[in-house]
A and B are shown apart, each in its own frame.
Chain A
Amino acid sequence: MTERTVAQALNAALDEALEAPDVVLLGEDVGVTGGVFRVSDGLFKKYGPDRVIDTPVAESGIIGAAFGMAIAGLRPIAEIQFMGFSYPAVDQIINHVGRIRNRSRHRFTAPMVIRIPYGGGIGAAEHHSESAEAMFVHTPGVKVVVPSNPYDAKGLLLAAIDDPDPVVVLEPIRVYRSIKGDVPDGHYTVPIGLAAMEHEGRDVTIIAYGAMMKEARAAAVQLEDDGVSVELIDLRSLVPFDTEMMVDSVRKTGRAVVVQEAHRSAGMASEIVAVLQEHALYHLNAPIERITGWDVVIPLRRAEKHYLPTVDQIVAAARRTLEA
């Protein structure tokens, strides 16, 4: 065990993965510099320029090349600097990365990982702050995971690298360095598709993921202090997602608050609410609440805090379900 931040845990996962000769890491500034968030610090020195590859600014090229490597026997890990810069590569991701298995009648597999820092945190507005997970979630053939803590960060990244299908790993910018935790030193994986039950409770279920877990945890503590028994679930895998854990929980508590940082409409929370009503409607004691960002362009720093969901909003939503 070593105490690590999320960024350090990801670094440890990459380091371990690169010991296998078929794994390569590529992206803008990932080599000599160690990436914009220094997640690949030290790896260029250790593994050299053929394994840790500095690319031009060319996201379509990076993902296209990674995809080519993947269908030809390597296991590439591509880093995109910020979520807004993944959009030039969306053509490759939607049209090719997610489709090759189906299109090739299962003959090709694309065992690749696309790492994308996402969400608010540095207050630089728009491209540097967005949460477009729904776009990837909506794309058949691409798995999507979102760790919220150092243990899951390493375990999910290693699982993604081991996975025979393409996996988008969303890395919450706000918690890269703000959370520390014990991380095992050797190889381990966190299975893709299973949520984490962070806290069991009876009265209301709070479901969140990624950076929003920080607010969700704080809300749960506040509610528990006030005598509300909260069941807190970290979804951590968006595709495939853990229907069973969420449905079982809501059948038990009869109430749910779903939290996402992304724009409100047609987001991950919308999908979760739909699934919950399909499987738990008759157990509900109150309408399911959604706490989300707004349907607006993510603003600059000061306004960003008005955009991002807050602990107070989550607490108030939970209370509304209790009063219903």
Chain B
Amino acid sequence: MTAGADASADTVSIPLDKKLEMYRMMLDARLFEEKAHKLFFEGLVKGTSHLALGQEAVAAGFAAAMRSDDLTFCTYRGHTHTLLRGADMGALMAELLGRGNGICGGKGGSMHLTDVSVGAMGSYAIVGAHLPIAAGAAWAAQARGTGQVSVVFFGDGATNIGAFHEALNLAAVWSLPVVFVCENNLYMEYTPIGAVTAVPNPAADRAGAYGLEGIILDGNDVEAVYSTATAALEHARAGGGPQLIEAKTYRHGGHSRADPGTYRPDEEVQEWLDRDPIPAFRARLEAAGVAAETLDTIEAESDAAVEAATEVARSGPFPDPANLETQVWADGGSSWRN
């Protein structure tokens, strides 16, 4: 069984165990978020939630290619990125439910998942804000000689806010080890990106302005993502400066919460459902000779992991109200005055 059998245009050959790891990652992400969606409709998810159903290949391809100490910066649509860097699934689910055993103690919720211990440096809910932050972290990595690369995921909508342009220029002029990854899912919240952007490829077409190459990628092809990510990470780690990648993808559902996404044409939704990255990858693995039972086992294990995580979350305690007055300052408290 070799990677040579796959149909992707990449040149890197991907070992089978890596492929199976990515298959598991995508299933973990998919089943985790499907469960989160159900829990939302049960009224258990506190606040809001933004699902990346359909976009799993981007997160999986990158997470599989990154070094364990590399840094991930993502948006409010960040369950998958945080999970696949290795954050504890039960603690993530508990955070969505606003429980005290959540990964942020129930203080942040779905939009603010963070686990510094696995390099998940935060989910940022202000569009574009985390791009300069990722550049700063890359500077720190470079200054400290750690060899880490900073990878920042953002939406198509983020390419029109000032911080995107400021960050690209900073990263380019300082030649920082940072990989900018635009997940172009064609929509901001409800408005199509094409309606408010001067160029057809909102990220890649801007690359030239900062002396970068605009890399366009099929974000639903996990092997292509993995190969591109591997090359970009190597380039950045070797001192070659930043990379800007635009991954074309699609969110299966609406923007957030209960949004059914009805502003999208049916044919468009169908076209992208047909390009669902998970069945596509499975078909490719089977065609290359991986036994169906192997893949079924992975699926069953993912399912069991999600069920266990859900139990951890459901049985978690709600934070003590007194918790509200903690952790604003380094002394652990919230007092404004002496």
Using a CB–CB cutoff of 8 Å, the interface residues on chain A facing chain B are 28-29, 31-33, 36, 54-61, 84-85, 87-88, 122-128, 264-265, 294-297, 299-303, 306-307
Contacts and interface: CB of A to CB of B under 8 A. Distances in A.
Contact of B191 (A28, A300, A302): A28
A300 B335 contact: no
- A-B CB proximity, top 10 nearest: A56-B160, A301-B46, A33-B190, A124-B47, A56-B196, A295-B336, A300-B109, A57-B157, A306-B321, A265-B336
B13 interface: no
B184 to A, nearest CB: 14
Contact of A301 (B47, B161, B188): B47
15 contacts: A56-B157, A56-B196, A58-B160, A60-B162, A88-B128, A122-B47, A125-B111, A125-B112, A128-B47, A295-B335, A296-B334, A300-B106, A300-B109, A303-B98, A303-B323
Contacts of B111: 124-126
B335 A61 contact: no
Contacts of A127: 125-126
Contacts of A125: 47, 107-109, 111-112
Contacts of A60: 161-162
Nearest to B48: A124
A29 B188 contact: yes
Interface residues of B, number: 40
A85 B126 contact: yes
B174 interface: no
Contacts of B47: 122-125, 128, 300-301
Contact of B46 (A57, A61, A302): A302
Given A56-B196, A88-B162, A124-B109, 15 more contacts: A29-B189, A31-B191, A54-B196, A56-B157, A61-B160, A88-B129, A123-B46, A128-B47, A128-B48, A294-B324, A295-B336, A300-B98, A301-B46, A302-B318, A303-B107
A58 B46 contact: no
B162 A296 contact: no
B335 A303 contact: no
B325 A58 contact: no
B324 A306 contact: yes
Contact of A122 (B48, B189, B337): B48
Contact of B325 (A33, A57, A296, A300): A296
Contacts of A31: 191
Interface of B: 46-48, 98, 106-109, 111-112, 125-129, 157-158, 160-163, 188-191, 195-197, 263, 318-319, 321, 323-325, 328, 334-337
Contacts of A297: 107, 328
B126 A303 contact: no
Given A29-B188, A300-B98, A302-B98, A56 B321 contact: no
A290 to B, nearest CB: 13
A112 B334 CA distance: 37
A153 to B, nearest CB: 24
B158 to A, nearest CB: 7
A128 B334 CA distance: 21
Contact of B189 (A36, A58, A301, A303): A36
A129 B185 CA distance: 27
A307 B196 CA distance: 38
Nearest to A59: B161
B324 A54 contact: no
A125 B319 CA distance: 15
B231 to A, nearest CB: 30
Contact of B197 (A56, A264, A265, A299): A56
B98 A57 contact: no
A128 B48 CA distance: 10
Nearest to B188: A57
A254 B188 CA distance: 53
A266 B191 CA distance: 38
A301 B44 CA distance: 11
A88 to B, nearest CB: 7
Contacts of A29: 188-191
Residue among A59, A294, A295, A303 with max Cβ neighbours from chain B (10 Å): A303
A80 B188 CA distance: 15
A57 B323 CA distance: 34
A55 to B, nearest CB: 6
A248 B321 CA distance: 39
Nearest to A54: B191
A20 B189 CA distance: 30
Contacts of B196: 54-56
Contacts of B336: 264-265, 295
A29 B318 CA distance: 35
